Amino acid sequence: MLEMIIIVYSMYTFIKVYISVMQIGYINEEKRKTPVLMSADKYLVAGNYAVANGKLGILTTFIDYFSFLFWVLIGFSWLSSTLLIDNMILEAVVFLFGFIFLNGLIASPFEWYQKFYIDERFGFNKMTPKMYVLDTLKSTLLFVVIGGAIFVLLAWILSSYETWWIWGFVAMFSIAVMANVLAPTFMALFNTFSPLEEGELKSEISKMMEEVGLKNDGIFVMDASKRDSRLNAFFLEDWVNLSVWSCLIRS
């Protein structure tokens, strides 16, 4: 069974790398052609950025592959043997945290390189190292507290019910709904929101939402530009009232 899993994942990795290599070659050929929707300079920059990300993606794919081999061959048994805990639920939680923590350590240099070299070189990054560290600490703390509670709940369900898959689904679905409702609260830990000023933009957004039958309970500006110069806009839905209760524009 283990050999089959390794073979399947190896084939998946090979296909993924092959597609990435072909995509990089295609972008390198296309990026110097005459663009349709943007200027030639911006089109070339977009192509170079995609190529840089593609090359980094190939490297991280290989890292993920060798990490996978490590865990399935010796990593899981080694980690399990080092956890001398009698409580099954606590052992499962510590095991998961150990696995995620070690994988995070492996991935962190590549995330840093993506943010402070590739994005910086192409003028997208506005985040400082201090801000990056603070964001990492905040997200890690949230994950430890919330993720730990979820892990404990799932481990308890697995050990307590024969029909654990049913109760596990109910628990995860409930958590997903709650996460959607509390999303703005979590995002407020990293960003500041302020109401969008009256004007043409707000009027057009409100008009567009009315035309498609969505209830608009607020349009806000999020100060994400302190981290990234790229623009974005998105909606948050209220699953209880079945309405769009916040439209957040990243400035």
pLDDT digits 0-9 by tens, 71-126? 888 888 887 777 777 777 777 788 888 888 888 889 999 999 999 999 999 988 88
Q: What DSSP letter does each residue of 155-170 carry, written as one string? A: HHHHHH-TTHHHHHHH
What's the pLDDT at 242?
40
Q: How far apart are CA 146 and CA 142, in angstroms?
A: 6
DSSP-H helix ranges across 31-122:
40-70, 76-82, 88-113, 119-121
pLDDT in tens, 182-237: 776 677 667 777 777 888 878 887 888 788 777 776 777 777 677 777 666 555 55
pLDDT in tens, 33-82: 888 878 888 899 989 999 999 999 999 999 999 999 998 888 888 877 77
Which pTM was predicted?
A: 0.71
Q: Considering only residues 185 and 3, tell me which one the structure prediction assigns the higher pLDDT.
A: 3
Q: How far apart are CA 13 and CA 131, in angstroms?
A: 34
pLDDT tops 80 at residue 250: no
What's the pLDDT at 244?
43
pLDDT in tens, 129-173: 998 998 888 888 888 888 888 888 988 898 888 888 899 999 999
pLDDT tops 50 at residue 29: yes
With contact defined as beta carbons under 8 Å apart, do 122 and 45 qualify? Answer: yes
C-alpha distances (whole Å) from 107 to each of 75, 80, 110, 116 are 16, 22, 6, 14
C-alpha distances (whole Å) from 158 to each of 5, 84, 93, 251 are 24, 20, 12, 44
The closest alpha carbon to 214, from 250, 178, 247, 179, belongs to 247
Q: How far apart are CA 29 and CA 32, in angstroms?
A: 7
With contact defined as beta carbons under 8 Å apart, do 215 and 244 qualify? Answer: yes
Domains contained in the chain, CATH given: 1-126 (no CATH), 127-190 (no CATH), 193-250 (3.30.2010.10)
Q: How far apart are CA 73 and CA 76, in angstroms?
A: 8
Please identify which residue in the block is written with the tokens 């998946």. Answer: 12
